[in-house]
Copies of this chain bind each other. A is one copy, B any other.
């Protein structure tokens, strides 16, 4: 009897993650389908698609949220984004702290899984730290944006727009209340700097932020933190430069802009694809090489245990380092004087392989169900997998089946393909080993 009872209450972390997201998506779908959530009636598929898009902080939408959703609908969207972004469980734990209840071991194990944090004891403090951090950063950003938008929109609208876009940016959701996303603000430095700072910060991952907060010098940082910071700077510089060069002469994007706007738009469109999903340039009229490059960025994504998805920047770096180490016929790859364990290498390669096969499989299925050219369709799938939300403009042309398929991609992209497979394959043991300098991949 005792054994059965014990089993009954054992929920595996992957199941808890997937279950939480599914629950949020169902609640979101129901709320968006309420008559007073939209200005015109929407179908169940559309409600499911947008609820999934918000919960998974993707930002793809089959309608314009600014005009189709009522204020209530927009608040539902914002709630889903905030929950899906900084993590549903952080909320639950926060609630438990507020209610003064003790946190059970079960929940702490979940949080450990969620944030790659090794000491079970520090979890509660960790959650407090995260919430303080999130709310402080968002509050500061809301103040700045409200002041900036005050002359143009008046106080109420400026505040509302600021809240929406700050939450959307920090959680890497990429939803905007402006019909053309942020194209109208491509020349606005405050919008560019504040929103990109928010989504880059949100996309680094909480472990990185905590590590930097706790340890003051570069030398003290963990390998993971060093990799994320140096990697983020490098990939963003490369991305901005590439887009600047490729789109320089394109009259539909950078071509007719003054130089400073060219630079700013290149920067923004270079840092956004690794999962923010805002755009200040029209994606649909970009050059083919820019689109391919953007797809690569979307596939890579941001940091582990962050508001970003994709295979994760560290996973990508480990794969590259492992390949170089193999070519040099050395064993384990190393970086900054630390070796990377072969387990981490295999894990990274497995994540990349599964992700690639998933993306190809869904592109394949969508080429069967949709009558849309290949490149926009492939772009849409990669965007959904990385929960990015950039689109070449075909989202509202999708069939019902196409919407359901893309919802599945967003869901898998957000919980991570490993979580999905660990759910399906029921592993015997879960990794808690390697206390020092572990690289979090996926």
Contacts and interface: CB of A to CB of B under 8 A. Distances in A.
A422 B320 CA distance: 16
Contacts of A178: none
B353 A323 contact: yes
A326 B342 contact: no
A347 B349 CA distance: 11
Nearest to A369: B289
A288 interface: yes
Contact of A329 (B296, B320, B345, B429): B429
Contacts of A292: 360, 363-364, 367, 374
Contact of A328 (B319, B360, B425): B425
B354 A323 contact: yes
A345 B342 CA distance: 11
A350 interface: yes
A421 B323 CA distance: 11
A356 to B, nearest CB: 8
Contacts of A105: none
Contact of A296 (B349, B360, B367, B427): B360
A293 interface: yes
Nearest to A329: B427
A298 interface: no
A18 to B, nearest CB: 15
A368 interface: yes
Interface in A324-358: 326-329, 342, 345-347, 349-350, 352-354, 356
- The number of chain A residues touching the other chain, given as a range, is 35 or more
A292 to B, nearest CB: 5
Identical chains in the assembly: 2
A438 to B, nearest CB: 16
A246 interface: yes
Contact of A421 (B288, B327, B349): B327
Contact of A374 (B288, B328, B418): B288
Contacts of A421: 327
Interface string A297-334: 00000000000000000000001101100111100000
Given A349-B349, A374-B375, A327 B422 contact: yes
A327 B346 contact: no
Nearest to A326: B350
A288 B367 contact: yes
A328 B246 CA distance: 43
A5 interface: no
A249 B63 CA distance: 33
Contact of A327 (B319, B345, B350): B350
Interface string A213-235: 00000000000000000000000
Contacts of A157: none
Contacts of A425: 327-328
A350 B328 contact: no
A44 B356 CA distance: 39
Contacts of A8: none
A55 to B, nearest CB: 25
A102 interface: no
A354 B427 CA distance: 30
A85 B19 CA distance: 54
A363 B290 CA distance: 12
Contacts of A375: 373-375
Nearest to A293: B364
A180 interface: no
Contacts of A352: 353
Given A296-B360, A342-B342, A373-B375, 4 more contacts: A288-B367, A288-B377, A289-B365, A349-B353
26 contacts: A246-B368, A287-B368, A288-B367, A288-B374, A288-B377, A291-B374, A292-B360, A292-B363, A292-B374, A293-B364, A296-B360, A322-B346, A322-B350, A327-B350, A327-B418, A327-B422, A327-B425, A327-B427, A328-B425, A329-B428, A329-B429, A342-B346, A349-B349, A349-B353, A374-B374, A374-B375
